[in-house]
Amino acid sequence: MNDIMMGTSLPYAERKRQGLMGRMPHKEESLAQQRRRIYRLVSAMQSPFDQHLLLRQLQEDNPVLFYELVRHHLPELLPIIYTPVVGEACQRHSDLYLRSHGLYLSWHDRDELDDIFAAVEQEVDVIVISDGERVLGLGDLGIGGMGICIGKLALYSAAGGINPARTLPLCVDVGTNNPELLEDDSYLGWQAPRVDGEPYYHFMDKVVAAIRKRWPEVVLQFEDFAGKHAANLLARYRDELCMFNDDIQGTAAVASACVLAGLQQAGSALAETPVLIVGAGSAGCGIAAMLAQLAGSTERVQLFDQDGLVCQDRAGLTPAQQPFARPAAEACHSLAALIERLRPGVLIGVSGQGGLFDEAVLTAMGEVCERPVILPLSNPTRSAEATPAQVW
């Protein structure tokens, strides 16, 4: 079946030799001809979501053609394969499920993990793993988080050249706290409240141990875990195998690069520039930590969320928030007022609150800084704090 997946590019002589005569049209297409034909089909579709579904089907049926197409049209197809369109696919994951791609590890499989991984014949270089508790800005989607793992690995192969046959998307199913999924007859994951606390971490320990046993040299990327778990899992496993958390470290690396490039254009130095990060979850704290490290101090980096400026008297401060917590006397609950007081040169949004950077906020930034760096990073698009047009 691997040869029939080549489709019409399989030479006529090979079709005959392998008993595949009549299984496909007569014409022998080159890979370039196949690519152009499929591109016309994708381009004719009016709905980005329909385009996403077609590309996912192509990825399953003919991965060679899929990556040939995506590599040649990456800027155009990037938002179709991944954000923002992948968000809807994650929300509708169970309804759209036709065949398995990757591994689903249920809480009920916790004593069978070694056998599950031993049955995977392929060698694996990169795994993207998610428990689906905080998918993009969409919240708890349970096993819908698998769509992010699939999409992220597709990008790594298309843009980074990683062999897709040596990648593995992996979804950890420990239940869901999404009431809609708990009541949805079509939901294919475990319909029970999420396992949490020590049982959760014990299960994750077993998953990581089984991965290390099967593929000791693998790169393990954690994706879309809730903030309460993300930093703990990073600290727990970072010295055990080659792993990283994309929401904490990946987002921080890209955001920091953008900040440094923007400040260079503005003629400003990071160490002298106040930074205001709106959103104090795993992404916001990860960005804050990296910028503070680059600046050599936490003093000029502040965090703001739905409860206002993150201050030292707040109950339930996480370890990642504590270095940036301000004295209680500095408490402020208005973003625009805080901008006027802090006079930041950098404003970063990772709040998941669409439109949060409204006219008052953007006007305040323009008044306190001649050339501010403004990065509304929340996704999908409807969750972005502002659009580029609004900022301009």
Could you confirm whether 206 is annotated as catalytic?
Answer: no
* Single-letter amino acid, residue 260: L
Pick the CATH number of 249-391 from 3.40.50.720, 2.40.10.120, 3.30.420.40, 3.30.930.10: 3.40.50.720
Cα–Cα distance, 84 to 79 (Å, whole number) = 6
Residue 304 parent element (H or E): strand 301-305
Could you count the other beta carbons within 10 Å of the beta carbon of residue 67?
17
Which tops the pLDDT comparison, 135 or 3?
135
Q: Is 272 annotated as a binding residue?
A: no
Residues 6+ apart with CB under 8 A from 117: 210, 211, 213, 214
Q: Is 92 annotated as a binding residue?
A: no
- pLDDT higher than 90, residue 43: yes
Average pLDDT, integer, range 257-275? 97
Q: Is 232 annotated as a binding residue?
A: no
Can you give the pLDDT at residue 14? 86
**1: pLDDT confidence band, cut at 50, 70 and 90?**
very low
Q: Which residues pair with 69 in a beta bridge?
A: none
pTM of the model: 0.86
Token couple for 44: 């004719």
- pLDDT higher than 60, residue 153: yes
Q: Does the N-terminal peptide bond of residue 25 adopt cis geometry, omega within 30 degrees of 0?
A: no
Could you confirm whether 82 is annotated as catalytic?
Answer: yes
**6: pLDDT confidence band, cut at 50, 70 and 90?**
low
Q: Same CATH fold, 249-391 and 82-240?
A: yes
Instruction: Work out the end-to-end distance of the chain between its first and last CA atoms, rounded to an integer number of angstroms.
Output: 53
Name the CATH superfamily, with its identifier, for domain 82-240. Answer: Malic enzyme, N-terminal domain (3.40.50.10380)
Catalytic option among 82, 156, 200, 237: 82
- pLDDT higher than 60, residue 383: yes
- pLDDT higher than 90, residue 392: no
Q: Where are the domains of the chain?
A: 82-240, 249-391
- pLDDT higher than 50, residue 295: yes
Q: Is 358 annotated as a binding residue?
A: no
Q: Is 134 annotated as a binding residue?
A: yes
Measure Cα distances from 254 to 145, 171, 247, 291 in Å.
Answer: 22, 25, 11, 11
- pLDDT higher than 70, residue 3: no
Catalytic option among 67, 97, 152, 187: 152
Strand, helix or coil for residue 312: coil
